[in-house]
A and B are shown apart, each in its own frame.
Chain A
Amino acid sequence: MRAGFTLCAAALTAVLAIAMPASGAEAPKRGGTLTFMIPADAPPSFDGHQEGTFAMLHATAPFYSTLTRVNPENPSSTTDFVCDLCTDMPQPADDGRTYTFKLRDGVKFHDGTPLTSADVKASWESIIHPQEGVLSPRESYYMMVDKVEAPDPATVVFRLKFATTTFLPALADPFTFVYQKEKLEKDPHWYEKNILGSGPFKFVTYETGQSITGVRNPDYHHPGLPYLDGFTGIYAAKQATRLDAIRSDRAAAEFRGLPPSARDELKAALGDKITVQESDWNCGSLVTPNHAKKPFDDVRVRRALTLAVDRWHGVPALSKVADMHTVGGIVFPASPLAATKDELQQLAGFWPDIEKSRAEARRLLKEAGAEGLSFELLNRNVDQPYKYVGTWLVDEWSKVGLKATQRVQPTGPWTDAMRRGDFEVVLQANCRAVPNPILDVQPYLPSSVFTANYGNFEDKDEVALYGKMLHETDPAHQRALMREFEKHSIDTQAHEIWVSWWYRTVPHRSYLKGWKISPSHFINQDLATVWLDR
């Protein structure tokens, strides 16, 4: 298993080298206040354990510490995990089922009270085993954890139900803030409206719906950090506002990711005053056919839908306007588990010859008696990249005689239509934090296993295959199983029509230094290493 991680790290350095800015030996300057944009409307609460949105995370990550995390010096790696509150990344014991963490000495919450293993345990319990009436959207993510123990104030032990390579990446999840046990016990909802952590910045003010401000934590447990005196995050859901703000230097950056047009606009207006960092994004677009609606119960029709789409030409073209870039299968392209180009070209919809592929699609449609089928694509009312991808797909499908129309709905009605099965095919996204491919493909399992799959199908073989992969700890075997799973899910059965990975483009003012892009807008946002070169 350790060997696996080393291997992964080596494979990755090469792949993501482009994403790294030239940082080098420059000595960071201290001081200054960073103003950045948060590309969303204000989140419902500040509680990392309950929320799933970056709108919460970008505003509050600087106030909190986590047990482990993705290495802030190397965030583009999918395998480089380091300690935040612990002292050393542990060796698993007990056949890979026990992980023991030692905590740093002298870590304090912003109110001055010491942070102990009891706080870490209470925080993780609220995520893994939430008490009744408390939300935990990531509960299923930690299904491998049996219990968390705190044998002494400086030790935390995680006991797993089975050995798995998915545990360490899951543990580094950026939403898993360490809270104060006392506050959690007094009121499990306390952290929704209050902020009290041990992170690099202390909370100052929150202007409802507008902005959030933090100031340097002088007692931060990583010596010498943070570099900034403070920060202000401003909410702005409209892209134009954010762009204009960066252009006129009202803000230095936004950290989620902007479409290519925005990058070009800023570059054209500001030249080398703008630095662009780019990375493949651990989010992707996929179409789910509703197997309960005819003729999508017919695998031939589902396969035709994927065969009709010319990804090798379409995605590079779309990359000029939409935040997409890399053609890939269901595994994050930079992960060692991802398919190679040759492997990919064996899959339906990824054949190198699109004419052959479309001919096959027409043949399948004819055989299924579904030539010239008219159907509706349910789509979400979000520009990037939903509407672009939807408009593109409709055009691609028309090339094999399929007549698709779009029904675009705001988030609530869109989710509701999926849950009620009130759609023929739906354009969805799967957006994850720390790349953890085996957990990340969970959403493609039938709803008997993964309740939020809305394809309305059952497939025992697929579930069995997944189980095998989850429990496999040998990287080579795991990779072979993943190929089998991928083929089954998006080709043989075409339960899902995988479209494309997204691409994260973050243009920021060049004086902003020490921030490194990662494959997820959820990762590495505590701003401790960020500094201003002015």
Chain B
Amino acid sequence: MTIEIAPTSATVPVLVDERGRTPHGLWGVAATFFRRQPVGAIGLVLVLIFGLAGIFAEWVAPYNPTSNDFAAMTEAPSWAHWLGTDQLGRDLLSRILYGARTAFIVGMTSALVGGFSGLVIGVASAYFGGRLDLWLQRVLDIVMAFPLIIMALAVVSIFGTGIQNVIVAITIPLIPRCARIVRSSALAIREVPYVDAARALGYGHTRIIMRHMVPNVMGPFLVIITAFVGQAILAEAALSYLGLGVQEPVPAWGLMLQGGAEEYASTAPWIAIFPGLAIMLTVFGINLFGDALRDILDPKLRER
């Protein structure tokens, strides 16, 4: 699990339309985004579809996602069950819709917590430098090189397999990746004249950090946490596949691919295919959106 975003130079995020005007209001921003970044917009739509499905699962899901129906096990897609049923007779569409909720909870929480922890560590490391920086970097080295599966097994075995513990296991390895990138962006800013000036004027650390450093690393930071959401969803799937993720009967995409999916891969392929597609489309959407976001937030790249 690595991040593919190269550290970008610090910039102020801007979204401009064809004539270079900055749009106003939510609709203005949205309209401009759709015109300037049609591919990113497709990504955003995909994300929104699954995100809304997750939020409104109670209303849109045709069945209860956890109730077994022994009269309708491993049924092929039909009008009654659009995507078929799984090995316990549960409606796959309903489980995928509710699974979207699990996926976004895991994805968003891991990305936000991991991202913000990384932001704090990265900025602190860059701003204070010296010994703190040196040792923080070593700790990050360890965490980054440490195999995820062992971290996950430890967390899950010690605290149990609740969704919050899976989030912890996924979040920990994200922290150093974010911290690295934020730190290198922040390092570049630490040396610019106005930070020196602020220091010379005797402003406190907090003020300098909050006013000058944090806003300047916001661009790469937003891009990273967008990518994190997708990675966390994939990590959850991989952990579930190894039996270390969330547990039955929670509807979760990774869990749906474990056990039953492999067991029924040839006799009832829909059990394996649809949850896999859900993961793929969501992460695909997030990545498309993330790319568009990067183009907007990084003018150097935007020109291309």
Contact = CB atoms under 8 A, between A and B. Distances in A.
The answer to whether any beta carbons of A and B sit under 8 Å apart in the complex is yes
Interface in B246-279: 247-249, 259, 262-268
Given A409-B157, A410-B153, A321 B262 contact: no
A395 B267 contact: no
Interface string A311-346: 001100110110000000000000000000000000
Contacts of B247: 406-408
Contacts of B248: 387, 390-391, 406, 408
B73 interface: yes
Contacts of A314: 70
Contacts of A406: 247-249
A269 B153 CA distance: 37
B282 interface: no
A238 interface: yes
B262 A410 contact: no
A383 interface: yes
Given A321-B88, A387-B248, A410 B157 contact: yes
Interface in A401-420: 406-410, 412-413
A390 B160 CA distance: 16
B265 A394 contact: no
Given A387-B259, A395-B67, A265 B266 contact: yes
Contacts of B265: 240
A268 interface: yes
B243 interface: yes
Contacts of B37: none
Interface in A358-399: 381, 383, 387-388, 390-392, 394-395
A261 interface: yes
B7 to A, nearest CB: 39
B33 to A, nearest CB: 42
B161 interface: yes
A390 B161 CA distance: 15
A259 interface: yes
A264 interface: yes
Given A317-B70, A321-B74, A391 B264 contact: no
A392 B267 CA distance: 22
B267 A268 contact: yes
Interface in B131-156: 153
B68 interface: yes
Nearest to A390: B248
A390 B248 CA distance: 9
A239 interface: yes
A215 interface: no
Contact of B263 (A259, A320, A407, A413): A259
Given A261-B267, A317-B70, A413-B157, A240 B88 contact: no
Contact of B262 (A239, A394, A412): A239
A394 to B, nearest CB: 7
A269 B265 CA distance: 13
A246 to B, nearest CB: 12
Q: Kindly state the interface size class of chain A when it binds its partner.
A: 20 to 34
Interface string A226-249: 000000000000111000000000
Nearest to A395: B68
Interface of A is mostly: helix
B267 A264 contact: yes
B171 interface: no
B87 interface: yes
Interface in B58-82: 66-68, 70-71, 73-74
B65 to A, nearest CB: 12
A321 B157 contact: no
A388 B263 CA distance: 13
Interface string B84-100: 00011000000000000
A290 B66 CA distance: 26
Nearest to B247: A408
Contacts of A383: 259, 263
A408 B161 contact: yes
Nearest to A413: B157
B68 A391 contact: yes
A261 B261 CA distance: 11
Contact of B70 (A318, A390, A408, A413): A318
A412 to B, nearest CB: 8
A240 B271 CA distance: 14
A262 B260 CA distance: 11
A261 B266 CA distance: 10
Contacts of B87: 261, 321, 388
A406 B244 CA distance: 14
Interface string B231-251: 000000000000110011100
B264 A261 contact: yes
Contact of A392 (B68, B161, B266): B68
A321 B243 contact: no
A265 B272 CA distance: 15
B88 A407 contact: no
Contacts of B268: 261
Contacts of A409: 157, 160-161
Given A261-B87, A388-B88, A394-B249, A320 B73 contact: yes
Given A261-B263, A317-B70, A318-B70, A381 B88 contact: no
Given A388-B88, A407-B161, A265 B249 contact: no
A485 B88 CA distance: 34
Contact of A269 (B68, B259, B266): B266
A420 to B, nearest CB: 13
B15 to A, nearest CB: 45
6 contacts: A240-B262, A268-B266, A268-B267, A321-B74, A406-B247, A409-B161
Interface of A: 238-240, 259, 261-262, 264-265, 268-269, 313-314, 317-318, 320-321, 381, 383, 387-388, 390-392, 394-395, 406-410, 412-413
Q: Which 5 A-B pairs have the closest CB atoms?
A: A317-B70, A240-B262, A413-B157, A408-B247, A321-B87
